[in-house]
Amino acid sequence: MATTNTTPLAKALSTRPRQRGLLRNITPASRFYWVRVLLANPMAVASGLTLLVIITAAAAAPLLTSHDPTFLNPGIRLQGLSGEHWLGTDGNGSDVFARIIYGARVSLLVGLSVMLFAAAAGALLGLISGYYQRFDTPIMRVMDGLMSFPSILLAIAIMASLGPSTTNVIIALTVVYIPSIARLVRGMTLVTKQQAYVESARAIGVRDHVILRRYIFANTLSPLIVQCTFVVAFAIISEASLSFLGAGVPPGTPTWGNMLREGQRFMQISWWLAVFPGSALFMLVLALNLFGDGLRDALDPRMRTR
Amino acid sequence: MLTYILRRLILLVPVIAIVGTIVFVLIHLTPGDPAAVMLGQDATAEQIERLRDGLGLNDPLYLQYLNWFAGAVRLDFGDSIFLGQPVTEALLARAQPTLLLTLYALTIQVLIGVPAGVIASVKHNSLLDRILMVLSISGAAIPSFFLGIMLILFFAVRLNWLPSGGFVSVFDNPIEHFKRMILPAFALGFTSAGLLARLVRSSMLDVLQEDYIRTARAKGLPQRVMVIRHALRNALIPAITVIGYSLGGLLGGAVVTETVFTIPGMGRLVVQSVARRDFPVIQGAILLIAAFYVLVNLLVDVLYVYIDPRVRYGND
């Protein structure tokens, strides 16, 4: 992996001339080898492109539709699909297509923020807990405690205390997903710190924070990145669930969860209100999961699925 | 075995204590005065002060913590602000739908997930294997509440085959009960079935490469006997852990599913209580469900050791 490239042995190995015969097919470890593996996987490429399309659509929302997602026009409420309103209108006469692409912004914002914050906090806690014996028990017991709640229930309880808002959804879901990342990084740290190169680094007097950063954290990076794609997917589903339950993003904001909530209310007469935002949610989560699988196969060959 | 169970039970104490502390901290993070919330808008400052005294809210924090904990251990979470009845009573009255829904969803998860995983592994790399895996990956990506809405749209609104929700006790009318539970149970169970199918498949693939499977095949055992008696029994060991842990996810998912199908269970009560800012109910429910979840996980671990005694020696 990336870090071993810096050791003299690895350098010697990677500059070694190409072998013939039996070793012919073994390519030298390259820093970006995983990119090639990823690009050779059609599922990963397809899901990556889907993600790119969704992100672009969310970013370029005003260019894709001339409708204001929060514009209320009761005169045209609950209209079916038409040339003017591609995916119909909702109970307030707002354009469903516009609400879906603006809703993608909220989903992506929540998903990515939760992932970043949870990864940062979880990795730090995991590193400390795995490296320093005396912090291990207190940190991990609190993580166990947090993991004792079904995740959506903990999120609901936190949201009940904080009150509905997008920021609070991010805070609540970050708390919910920190433990899984802390556990993962701690496990990797416990294994890595036993390795000879970490011991030798300590023996020659490399300082703790350097060891943690350059020798241990660098090695947990691959599984961490893979886990992160799944955290994004979980966080997006959880945000939609919270909003659907009325405990997430406040009702006026266009989010997929809010749209599904309304969709269920008008289910008897307007099927499109639930079907389209739900399908968008399904596609985004599916693309994230498939991309995560592809990343895992590329970054961590030992975990490769058959 | 007995010492193992005892040790695990003792280890449960700190976990429960931490779970309780987390809930206590959550309540105290809540902005606003619970006494003011309980009395409504027209209450005078004096009335609020008297209620604060009565509720012990003017005590020092550590005393409140101890009192609260003493109550929680006896399953006494106080009275619901909205319902005017003790929280424990309100929760227990709504336990049946939630527990049954979780149980049915678990059954559906196993009934779909295990056969799908076994078939995919036996037909490894065939078209059927591909189709099953695409289905299971898609299944894991459908949020259960969206699947629930789709099922209602199709089976209740369009075809009018099944009711769109509600609950009838299994003791009152079993047929109506199952007619109402089948859609929510499927919506909830299908999502986790995908995950289980993938796990069963990969652990079957591992087992099918073992020497004793080759021996079984070599001595001419029929495929069916070999797969079920020899391979599946061993492949199911890791699956049991996943099934057990997925119970927590199913319990959490039940909260959302109950709202979709208007089932009067604990989950729906929690969601309604969030809107009513009925905090005693929220904390009581999440503590009760967390305690149940922790106990189930313990049960799963014990079961695991019972099935696979090698684990006991590997444990610290």
Q: ipTM score of the complex? A: 0.86
Burial level of B103, CB count in 10 A (0-12/13-18/19+)?
middle
Binding-face residues of A in 123-142 toward B, CB within 8 A: 141-142
pLDDT (mean) for A257-261: 91
Quick one: which H or E segment has residue B112?
A: helix B95-122
- Count CB atoms within 10 A of the CB of residue A187: 15
DSSP structure class, residue B158: I
Q: Count Cβ neighbours within 10 Å for each residue of B216-233 and write b for 16 or more, e otherwise.
A: beeeeeeeeebbeebbbe
* A267:B249 CB<8 A: no
B66/B70 Cα distance (integer angstroms):
6
Nearest-by-Cβ selection for A263 from B149, B282, B293: B149
On chain A, the residues whose CB falls within 8 A of the CB of B289 are 149-150, 153
CB interface of B with A, residues 9-38, below 8 Å: 14-15, 18-19, 21-23, 26-27, 29-31
Which residue in chain B is spatially nearest to A250 when comparing CA positions? Answer: B275
Average pLDDT over residues B286-292: 87
Rounded to whole angstroms, how far apart are CA atoms B292 and B144?
Answer: 22
Question: What DSSP designation does B33 have?
Answer: -
Is the minimum CB–CB distance between A233 and chain B shorter than 8 Å? yes
pLDDT bracket for residue A2 (50, 70, 90): very low
For chain B, the average pLDDT equals 84
Looking at the complex, does the CB of residue B137 fall below 8 Å from at least one CB of chain A? yes
For residue A15, pLDDT over 70 is answered with no
Residues of A in contact with B149 (CB under 8 A): 260, 263-264, 267, 274, 278
Name the residue among A267, A290, A293 with its Cβ closest to that of B157. Answer: A267
The predicted pLDDT at position A304 comes to: 55
| pLDDT score for A13 | 45
pLDDT bracket for residue A16 (50, 70, 90): very low
Structure tokens at A249: 């993003």
Chain B contacts of A178, Cβ < 8 Å?
A: none
The residue among B159, B258, B157 whose CA lies nearest residue A270 is: B157
User: What does the angle CA A196 – CA A201 – CA A203 come to, to the nearest 5 degrees?
Assistant: 90
Nearest CA in chain A to B251: A150
- Full-model pTM: 0.86
